[in-house]
Chain A
Amino acid sequence: MAAGVAAWLPFARAAAIGWMPVANLPMPVAPTEKNKRQDELIILNVSGRRFQTWRNTLDRYPDTLLGSSEKEFFYNEETKEYFFDRDPDVFRSVLNFYRTGKLHYPRYECISSYDEELAFFGIVPEIIGDCCYEEYKDRKRENAERLMDDQEDNKDAKLPNMTFRETMWRAFENPHTSTMALVFYYVTGFFIAVSVITNVVETVPCGSAPNQKEVPCGERYTVAFFCMDTACVMIFTVEYLMRLFAAPSRYRFMRSVMSIIDVVAILPYYIGLVMTDNEDVSGAFVTLRVFRVFRIFKFSRHSQGLRILGYTLKSCASELGFLLFSLTMAIIIFATVMFYAEKGSSSSKFTSIPASFWYTIVTMTTLGYGDMVPKTIAGKIFGSICSLSGVLVIALPVPVIVSNFSRIYHQNQRADKRRAQKVQKARLARIRISKTGSSSAFLHSKRNGLFNEALELTQLPYKMNLSDQNSTEDEQRLSKSTSLLESQHHHLLHCLEKTTNHEFVDEQYYQQSYLEAGLQNYPSRSPSLSSQDGVTGTCCTRRSKKHHTPLPNASAPAHMQPLTHTHTHPQGLQELSTIHIQPLSTSRSSLNMRVDEPAPLNCQSSQITTAIISIPTPPVTTPEGDAHLPAGPTHQNVVKVSAL
C-alpha cells in the first residue's frame, strides 16, 4: 500500500460500513491501537539543521531507519530531538521521500555520497522515481567505469607469482611493462614497416639498361627482395608462435582479429614456397601476394586510434548498411533511367544497365570522370537530376555516422547500456514485487494469524472463553511488532473476506485449486449443512474431496496448509469453525512450495507451509505476526478441529 495514501486509510475503513448490511458473517474485531499516541511533531536535527515532521509521516516506511525503532539510538535526551551527524542537503531528499512517497535524485549531488546517505537511512535506491531514475543510473554507470579504469591502471603492477607464460603474455599486451617488451614492440614495428616498404618498392620501376625495357625493382633485384621478405616473414612467424604459446586461451586467441591478420599476412609467403613455378597457378600466386598488404594492419597493435576506428566502424554497422542500401537503390534507379534515356542515341557508351552503374556512381559522388557522358537531351536532364540527388543521398547518412563515431569515441558505451537494460528489467521486477508485496503481506500475516489460532486452539481444545488477557498475552508472545497501519489495513481486507465469504489466496494456491476444481466432480453436499449454496458447498465438499487426493509417500513430508472457514447458517444455530489441514502436493501440480520454519503443531506431525513468493525488497513490510484476535466472544458452541 502506498504510504502516500496512508492518510486515507480511515476513510477506506469507514467506507467499509457499506459492506456490513450485505455481509452474512460476523466481522473480525478491529485491531486495538495499543498505546495510541496523539500525532506529534518530532524534531530531526541533521548536523544543526532542524527538520520537523509528524511522527506518522516517518512511520509510513517502517523498514527504514527513521520509520523503525532504530532511530531511538540517535535520540538526544537533553534536547529532546533526534540528532544525525549527516549531510543536511541529502537529508532533504530523504525526508521528502517520507512526505510524498517519491524519492528524487538531485542532479548536483555526487552519486557516491547520495548512495551512502541512502544506505545509512535504509532506503533502497531502486525506488527512485521515474523522473530521476535515468539520471541516477547514468551517473552511477559513469562512476563505475571510472572505478574500473582506475583499477585497470593498477593492474599493470606485477603480481608476485607469475609463470613465464603469463609474463610473456603481459609483455605482449602491455609493451611498457618491461624493457624487453618495449624492445620487442619496436622491433616488430620496424619490421612491419620494412615489409610494407619492401612490397611497395618492389613494384617501382628501377633504372634500366638502355636496351632493356623498364623493369620493376622486384624483378631486377630478386634475390635481395626475397631475402628481405624471408627475414620479415620469419620474424612475423616467430612472433605469432610466441603469442600463441603465451596466450591464456589459445582457442580464443586464434579466433581474434589480430591473429587472423597475422596469419593472412604470412601465409602467402609459405604458399609461394610450396607452390612450384607452374604456369597455371602463377596467376593465383600473384593474387596471393596482394594479401601481403594486410601486414599494414599489424600496425593496429601499435596504434590505439586505429583500433578504436575499427571498433566504431563495426558498431556503426547499421548506419553503414543503411547508407549502402540507399545508395544501391538510387544507383539502380538512375542507371535504369539513364540506360533507357540513352538507348536511342548512336555510339552510346551506355551499353547496358550494369554499364550505366559506373556512370551513376561517378556522377552521384560528384566525381565526374567524363568517360561516359549522356548525349541525348533526356539523358542530360536525368544526368543532372542524378548528380543533384547524389549529393543529398550521400550527405544524409554521413553526419549520422560521424556523430556516431564521436559519440562512441567519447563514451564507448554500447555494451554497458545493454547491461543497464537488464538492470532495468530487474528493477521493474522489484517494483512489481513490492507492489504485490502488500497483498502478499496480507496473506503472510493471515497465515501467521491462523497459525497462531491453530496453536491456541489445539493447545486448549475446548476452552472457549479466551479472555482478553490471554489473547493479548499470546499476541505479544507469538507476534512481533507490526505497524498499526498494516494491521488496520489487514483488518479491512479481512472484513471484505467476511463480507463475501471468500478468502484471498496467492497465485499458486489459486492455480492449484482452480485445477482441482476443474478436474474433480463434487460429491453431494452433506445434509447437515443448510442452504448457503455455492460457498459452503465448495468448502465442505473440498474437505471430503481430500480423501481422493493421493497422499504423498512416506518419505516426503506432508506439506500442509491451514485454512479457516466459518460457516453460518440462516438458522443461526451453530457456528462451525473448522480448520482444514489438507495435503497440498497433488500429483497434477508441479508447483514448488517453499517450506519455511516447520513449527510444531500438536495435532499431528506436519509442517505449515507458507507458500508465497519470497519478498526480499526492503520497502515491503512482511509482518511476522498479526494482532489477529480470533472472534472469541462470538463463539457460543464447541469448536471442532478436524485435521487429516
Chain B
Amino acid sequence: MDAKRVETISARVDAAVSSSDSVEDELELSAVRHRPEGLEQLEAQTRFSRKELQILYRGFKNECPSGVVNEETFKDIYSQFFPQGDASTYAHFLFNAFDTDHNGSVSFEDFVMGLSILLRGTVQEKLNWAFNLYDINKDGYITKEEMLDIMKAIYDMMGKCTYPVLKEETPRQHVEVFFQKMDKNKDGVVTIDEFIDCCQNDENIMRSMHLFENVL
C-alpha cells in the first residue's frame, strides 16, 4: 500500500505511474516530494467524502508544499493555535500519534487516516486513538510517568498567565485524579480495557467525544 516515492525535481516522471515499491534515490540535490495515493483509494480507506478530501489536501499542501510534514513544521503549525503557551511538547506527542509508521514524517495519508478516526470514527476507535496518544512508548500500558508527561504538556499549552495561577503540583494532582478514576485494579497502570470501560461509563467524556463531529 505504501506508494511513497522519492522523486527528484529534474527527473519528473510521467504522473500515471502507479504504486510501485522501488525507492529511487538518485542525485544529491533531490527534493523530497511525496505524492499521495489517488483520491479514490483515500476515499475508500477513510470516511471522508471526495470534496472533504479535496479541502483537506488543499490546506495540507498549502502549508507543506513538499507533501510531508516533519516534526518542526508540525510543532510550528500547532503552536500558532495556542499563542499564550508552549504547545511544542503536546505537538510532539500528537506527531507521534499521527505518524503511525514512525518514519519521522507525517504524510497526507497518515494525516487523513488520523483525522478520519478522530472525526468520523466510532467511539471505540476514538478512545483507542486517545489511549495510543497517552501511551508514549506504545507498550499497551499507561504509566503514571507517561500520564504526567502528557499532563504537563497540556498544562504547558495554557502558558503562564492563567487564573488561578498554575502551581507545580497541579499536573501531578490531575494525574492522581485521572488514575483514581481509570485504574480500577489499582495496579499503577491503566490498560486499554480499563481505559475504554471507564470512559464509556463517564457521561462527560462520552458527550465530549461527539463534540467535534461536524468540524469539517
Whether A502 contacts B164 by the Cβ 8 Å rule is yes
> Contacts of B170 on A, CB cut-off 8 Å?
500, 502, 534-535
Query: Looking at the complex, which one of B94, B208, B212 makes contact with A26 (CB distance below 8 Å)?
Result: B208
Which A521-574 residues have a C-beta within 8 angstroms of B? 532-535, 538-539, 542, 563, 570
Asked if residues A502 and B166 are in contact (CB atoms below 8 Å), the reply is: yes
Q: Pick the residue among B114, B127, B165 that contacts A514 (CB under 8 A).
A: B165
Please tell me if the beta carbons of A504 and B126 are within 8 angstroms of each other in the complex: no
| A504 interface neighbour in B130, B159, B204, B208, Cβ under 8 Å | B159
What residues of chain A lie closer than 8 Å to B114, measured between beta carbons? 14
> For window 172-213 of chain B, which residues contact chain A by CB distance below 8 Å?
173-174, 177-178, 181-182, 195, 199, 204-205, 207-209, 211-212
Do A502 and B162 contact each other (CB < 8 Å), given the known contacts A7-B59, A10-B216? yes
Residue B6 lies at the interface, judged by CB distance under 8 Å to chain A: no
A6 to B129, CA, bound (A): 24
Contact: B173 with A533, CB < 8 Å?
Answer: yes
Indicate whether A17 sits within 8 Å of B165 (C-beta atoms), given known contacts A5-B81, A8-B63, A435-B83: no
Q: If the complex has contacts A7-B58, A13-B215, A17-B126, are A493 and B195 also in contact, measured as CB distance less than 8 A?
A: no
A1 to chain B, nearest CB (A): 6
In the complex, chain B residues whose CB is within 8 Å of the CB of A22: 150-151, 154, 174, 178
Q: How far is the CB of B47 from chain A (nearest CB, A)?
A: 13
Q: Of the candidates B80, B134, B205, which one forms a contact with A2 in the assembled complex, judged by CB atoms under 8 Å apart?
A: B80
- A492-532 interface with B by 8 A CB criterion: 492-493, 495-497, 499-500, 502-507, 509-510, 513-514, 517, 532
Report whether A510 and B163 are in contact in the complex, using a CB–CB cutoff of 8 Å: yes
Whether A17 contacts B178 by the Cβ 8 Å rule is no
Least CB separation from B195: chain A residue: A21
B212-A502 in contact (CB<8A): no
From residue A427, how far is it (CB to closest CB) to chain B in Å? 19
Chain B, 52-69, CB within 8 A of any chain A CB: 55-56, 58-60, 62-63
List B contacts of A8 (CB < 8 A).
59, 63, 77-78, 81
B161 and A505: CB pair below 8 A?
yes
B84 interface residue per 8 A CB criterion? yes
- Chain A residues lying within 8 Å of B155, measured Cβ to Cβ, are 500, 502
Given contacts A16-B212, A496-B154, A496-B157, contact A23 B204 (CB under 8 A): yes
Whether A534 lies near B212 (C-beta < 8 A) is no
Say whether B12 faces chain A, with CB atoms less than 8 Å apart: no
Q: Which of B114, B118, B133 has the largest count of A CB atoms less than 10 A from its CB?
A: B118
Residues of A within 8 A of B208 (CB): 17, 20, 23, 26-27
Q: Are B158 and A500 in contact (CB under 8 A)?
A: yes
- Chain A residues, CB < 8 A from B163: 502-505, 509-510, 513, 563
Contact B154 A10 (CB under 8 A): no
Q: How far is the CB of B39 from chain A (nearest CB, A)?
A: 17
Interface bin, chain A: 35 or more
- Complex Cα gap A1–B79 (Å): 10
**Interface-central residue, A15, A488, A509, by most chain B CB under 10 Å:** A15
| Chain B contact residues, CB within 8 Å of chain A | 51, 55-56, 58-60, 62-63, 77-78, 80-84, 93-94, 97, 111, 114-115, 118-119, 126-127, 129-130, 133-134, 150-151, 154-155, 157-167, 169-170, 173-174, 177-178, 181-182, 195, 199, 204-205, 207-209, 211-212, 214-216
The residue of chain A having its C-beta at the shortest distance from the C-beta of B159 within the complex is: A504
* Binary B-proximity of A1-41 (CB < 8 A = 1, otherwise 0): 11011111111111111111111111101100100001100
**Do B77 and A5 touch (CB < 8 A)?**
yes
26 contacting pairs across A/B (C-beta < 8 A)? A1-B81, A5-B81, A7-B62, A8-B77, A10-B119, A14-B212, A14-B215, A15-B94, A18-B129, A21-B127, A21-B178, A21-B199, A27-B207, A38-B51, A488-B215, A489-B81, A492-B81, A499-B154, A504-B84, A504-B162, A504-B163, A505-B162, A513-B163, A513-B165, A538-B164, A570-B181
Q: In this assembly, does A439 line the interface, its C-beta being within 8 Å of a C-beta of chain B?
A: yes
B165 touches A538 (CB 8 A): yes
Q: Which of B55, B62, B115, B181 has the most CB of A within 10 A?
A: B62
> What residues on B are CB-neighbors of A18 within 8 Å?
93-94, 97, 129-130, 133-134
Say whether A4 contacts B164, CB under 8 Å.
no
Pair A535/B164 contact, Cβ less than 8 Å: yes
Query: CA A7 – CA B215 in complex, angstroms?
Result: 12
Distance of A10 Cα from B78 Cα, bound (Å): 11
Chain B residues with Cβ below 8 Å from A20 are 130, 205, 208-209, 211
Say yes or no for A436: interface residue by CB 8 A criterion. yes
Nearest A-chain residue to B116, judged by Cβ: A14
Instruction: Evaluate whether A532 and B82 lie within 8 angstroms (CB atoms) in the complex, with A7-B59, A14-B118, A23-B204 already known.
Output: no
Q: Per a CB cutoff under 8 Å, which of A27, A436, A489, A539 touches B211?
A: A27
> How far is B199's CA from A568's CA once the two chains are assembled, in angstroms?
17
Taking A496-B82, A513-B164, A570-B181 as known contacts, 18 extra A-B pairs with beta carbons closer than 8 A to each other, sorted by chain A number, are A1-B83, A4-B62, A8-B81, A16-B212, A17-B126, A17-B212, A18-B94, A18-B129, A18-B133, A20-B205, A21-B178, A27-B204, A27-B208, A489-B81, A500-B154, A504-B158, A504-B159, A507-B161
CB distance from B90 to the nearest CB of A (A): 8
Q: Tell yes or no: A438 within 8 A of B by CB.
A: yes
> Whole-angstrom distance between the alpha carbons of A12 and B111 in the complex?
12
- Distance in angstroms between the alpha carbons of A439 and B160 in the assembled complex: 13
Out of B55, B81, B164, B209, name the residue touching A539 (CB < 8 Å).
Answer: B164
Nearest 7 pairs of A and B residues by beta carbon: A7-B59, A510-B161, A14-B118, A538-B164, A502-B162, A20-B208, A505-B163
A535 vs B208: C-alpha distance when bound (angstroms):
22
Nearest CB of chain A from residue B177's CB, rounded to whole Å: 7
Report Cα–Cα, A639/B100, bound state, in Å. Answer: 46
Q: Give the docked Cα–Cα distance between A21 and B181 (Å).
A: 10
Q: Are A5 and B80 in contact (CB under 8 A)?
A: yes
| Other-chain residue from B111, B130, B215 in contact with A21 (beta carbon distance below 8 A) | B130
- Whether the pair A33, B77 counts as a contact (CB closer than 8 A) is no
Which residues of the other chain, B, contact A489 by a CB distance below 8 angstroms? 81
**What is the distance, in angstroms, from B121's C-beta to the closest C-beta of chain A?**
9
Contacts of B60 in A (CB 8 A): 7
B70 to nearest A CB, angstroms?
15
Question: Which of B80, B82, B165 sits near A517, CB closer than 8 Å?
Answer: B165
Q: Which of A148-181 contact B (CB under 8 A)?
A: none
CB distance from B183 to the nearest CB of A (A): 13
A436 touching B81 in the complex, CB below 8 Å, given contacts A27-B211, A533-B173? no
A38 to B50, CA, bound (A): 13
* Cβ contact of B205, chosen from A21, A30, A510, A514, cutoff 8 A: A21
